[in-house]
Amino acid sequence: MIGQTLALLHDGYRELNSKRMFWIVLVLSGLVVLAFACVGVKDQKLTFLWYETAIPALFDKAEMYKVMFSAFGISIWLGLAASVLALISTASIFPDFISGGSIDLYLSKPIGRLRLFLVKYLTGLLFVALQVFVFSALSYLVIGIRGDAWEPRIFLAVPLVVCFFSYLYAVCVLIGVVTRSTLASVLITVLFWFFLFCLDRGELALLLFTNSARREASTVERRIDFLDKRLDYFDRQTPEVRERSQNVIDSFRQQRQELVKQRDSKALRNLTIAHQLTYGLKTALPKTRETTEFMNRSLLSPRTREAIESFTAYETARMGSRASWAPRDGALLARARVSPTTEP
């Protein structure tokens, strides 16, 4: 049984190895690591090869290479570009296996359908595992040689990226088995991936808007209490005093009516319901961003993550933008999930 499973894995590896995309992704990974190696730090400024740039270095050499590996290597290359290439490479495994008649030959042997399916599925994950391992090993050498920091936690990228890819590949396999079309499986998987991205950003935006509405409702409630106290004060005064202060009393009452209408509006309730529905849907679906961001929390120090957040907030404020409503780091997301009465 073990020998049959290993033979199936070896056969699947040979099939992937024969494809040009396997070697194309491998070469591209090497080029990305080579680009990392070309960047250095000299006199607290970034350098590229032998050219010294005017860009200030926010970290020392070791932390800078870790930040580049996390921000560009994991989030952009492995988490986006290489994953799309891997989907294109592995999407044809099941459609070709079913439509080409190969499955009849396999089923004629004493191999269970479930084991056959799982071995083929693991073959696709093996493609990604090999690519990520090579990229991590090269990055480990670059960070160790150029940054004087031998960081074994870099190899956490292998299980994390494979786990991330397994979410998408499961959808790709499902569509490929149902439609027997490689093109349909790739397109629908990419659309599903985009849907997860929009759902994640939408849930975060609704969370921030809901917390903002709750803080505003709390402020309105305090203003109503203040006006009630002022109106109660005038009610205890003599008729002559109330008559002289009638304009002030009328102004307070008008303000209170407007605040009550604002408090009783359904905006907060609608936002809360929308966020609960979005959060419930997000809970039941795969977490792609959270999986890759675990690498940031494992590799980067808290001080480095805080410095990145501060720099991002500064650049956002300087550009007059409010793009911070969609932070990428998990720490910023946790900061958004505060008590609604807590001031930012």
pLDDT, average across residues 257-271: 84
The string of pLDDT tens digits covering residues 149-193 is: 788 888 888 888 888 888 889 999 999 888 888 889 999 999 999
The string of pLDDT tens digits covering residues 10-62 is: 666 666 666 677 788 888 888 888 888 888 777 777 788 777 777 777 777 77
Helix axes 20-38, 113-147, angle to 10 degrees: 20
Three-class SS of residue 265?
A: coil
Q: For residues 58 and 39, what is the distance between their CA atoms, to the nearest angstrom?
A: 14
Q: Are 46 and 40 in contact (CB under 8 A)?
A: yes
Q: Are 344 and 222 in contact (CB under 8 A)?
A: no
Domain map (residue ranges) of the chain? 2-180, 200-336
Structure token digits, residue 37: 């190696």
pTM of the shown model: 0.70
The string of pLDDT tens digits covering residues 135-152 is: 889 888 888 888 787 888
The string of pLDDT tens digits covering residues 276-327 is: 999 999 888 887 777 767 777 777 777 777 766 666 655 555 554 444 334 4
Q: For residues 164 and 169, what is the distance between their CA atoms, to the nearest angstrom?
A: 9
